Homo-oligomer: A and B are copies of this chain.
């Protein structure tokens, strides 16, 4: 039905301009919102309204002001109106697309998700997906995403919902659990780095391969968000997977660092040691950053001191880095006052490509998170999995990725079970059930009674975010 062209940055304008409404939940954010402003302004064949909603209305209003300012500039090709709304329902009314990118105030939540487990000797580089922190974040998010799905059902039932929020799998799953007919996908860029890695390998190992772009590398993705794997990689008809053994030898030993080696590095440093360790032991390359991969099994984070994790070429991100003094607000002031000009850039994000594809403009193939309808044949149907998919005017069609090898399936499956249990706990408000999942987190290797204490302490500390739960649960009583 289609011939496909390798992805190029310049999009082929169709000549038609499509007018759409975008609702943005979490529209006060500095990250994704700015990227979206940037990308929409550069898209030649889309135009319309962006309706921003945020629990912090002022932040949304500032983003609206910035969006309108940017869209008025000569270099901006798209014609967009940005507006901030007080009510989520009004922002989503009649929307064609809904973007979700939300976060609870880190100082009241994320910081505790990191710090309290550390008191029990559990170290988490990220703490937003799995582990004690990820589990608690999931519990907080489920009622919120249930609410978003209910609003979509009421105000824009046919809209495409694009979620960027972590824990990605649980948030996306909650949308479908509340409103099974929702059109929702979850997007994450971790796999891009794996494509970049293979692009470099193509240049290193394939004769005549220069300037290979990550978009030219085809990888078969299978797993769940942040714990996903690649078992095939091609550039044109060159099998890049064949070079992995050579590349592995080049990168050995694993682990290859000493505690302290990463001291001066960014918190986000990634040496792909764990990704390759998975390849070495299980035959599939880990396809997320090592900071994420490490949290899904106990073998990399069974440490006594934070710096020990540096042996694997990564660092822990302390809670202080999650709270407060990021430079966003100041930058915003300068944009709005005109002291600094918002600079257009190639964001590398695919949201606009995806919207155009779903509008029937130009088919697009990428990886995304979507309920399993067989694309990972040996994971449960209905669970949200990460694979490649084709997006067209008819919607999302996952590409079949086959089976995971049994040992890897089992490693992934325990998280699928945990996520499904958290969803059930979140929809019923049952914290005793939630604790079953908490206890089954691979990072929870402490004594069962300590695990209970930690769980109860997390809930107690973040009590304001657990209003939808039964706080008389046994697990909280000891």
Assess the A420–B400 pair: CB atoms within 8 A: no
Distance in Å: Cβ of A433 to nearest Cβ of chain B: 8
Given contacts A4-B362, A365-B2, contact A399 B402 (CB under 8 A): no
Contact check: which of B365, B417, B420, B421 meets A390 at CB < 8 Å?
A: B365
- CB of A217 within 8 Å of the partner chain: yes
A363–B218 Cα distance when bound, in Å, is: 11
Contact partners of A364 in chain B: CB under 8 A? 2-4
B363-A4 in contact (CB<8A): yes
Given contacts A237-B359, A394-B239, A447-B302, contact A5 B2 (CB under 8 A): yes
Which residues from B are CB-within-8-Å of A420?
406
Contact B362 A374 (CB under 8 A): no
Pairwise interchain contact A410-B4, C-beta atoms closer than 8 A? no
The secondary structure that dominates the A interface is: mixed
Partner of A421 from B237, B360, B406 at Cβ < 8 Å = B406
Q: Is A218's CB under 8 angstroms from B445's CB? A: no
Interface stretch (choices A140-148, A228-236, A321-329, A337-345): A228-236
Residue A197 lies at the interface, judged by CB distance under 8 Å to chain B: no
A255 located at the interface, meaning its Cβ lies under 8 Å from any Cβ of chain B in the complex:
yes
B374 and A410 form a contact (CB under 8 A): no
Mask of A337-372 contacts with B, CB within 8 angstroms, 1/0: 000000000000000010000111111111100000
Q: Are A1 and B195 touching (Cβ within 8 A)?
A: yes
**Contacting pair A417 B407 (CB below 8 A):** yes
State A366–B2 Cα separation when bound (angstroms).
7
**Which of chain B's residues has its CB closest to A449's CB?**
B255
Q: Mark A373-389, 1 if CB is under 8 A from B, else 0.
A: 11111000100000010
A180 in contact (CB, < 8 A): no
Tell me the minimal C-beta distance from A218 to chain B in angstroms: 5
Tell whether A281 is near chain B: CB-to-CB under 8 Å.
Answer: yes
Contact A237 B446 (CB under 8 A): no
CB <8 Å contact, B407 and A3: no
- Within 434-458 of A, Cβ neighbours of B (below 8 Å) are at 435-437, 439-440, 444-449, 451
A413 within 8 A of B: yes
**Residue from B238, B239, B417, B445 in contact with A298 in the complex, judged by beta carbons closer than 8 Å:** B445
Q: How far is the CB of A228 from chain B (nearest CB, A)?
A: 15
Are B436 and A373 touching (Cβ within 8 A)?
no
A373-B377, A402-B374, A440-B411 given; A4·B365 CB < 8 A: yes
Judged by a CB distance under 8 angstroms, whether A330 is at the interface is no
Interface check A397, CB cutoff 8 A: yes
Instruction: Please measure, in the bound complex, the distance between the C-alpha atom of A403 and the C-alpha atom of B232, giving whole angstroms.
Output: 26
Q: Which residues of the partner chain B approach A407 to less than 8 Å between Cβ atoms?
A: 417, 421, 436-437, 440
Contact B440 A360 (CB under 8 A): no
A236-B360, A358-B237, A414-B414 known; A1+B217 contact, CB < 8 A: yes
Report the nearest B residue to A452, measured CB to CB: B281
A360 touches B237 (CB 8 A): yes
**Sampled A-B contacts (11; CB under 8 Å):** A1-B7, A1-B388, A3-B7, A5-B12, A6-B363, A234-B360, A235-B360, A238-B360, A299-B446, A411-B440, A414-B414
> Which 10 A-B pairs give the minimum distances between C-beta atoms?
A374-B377, A236-B360, A4-B363, A237-B360, A237-B393, A234-B394, A4-B4, A374-B374, A299-B448, A410-B417
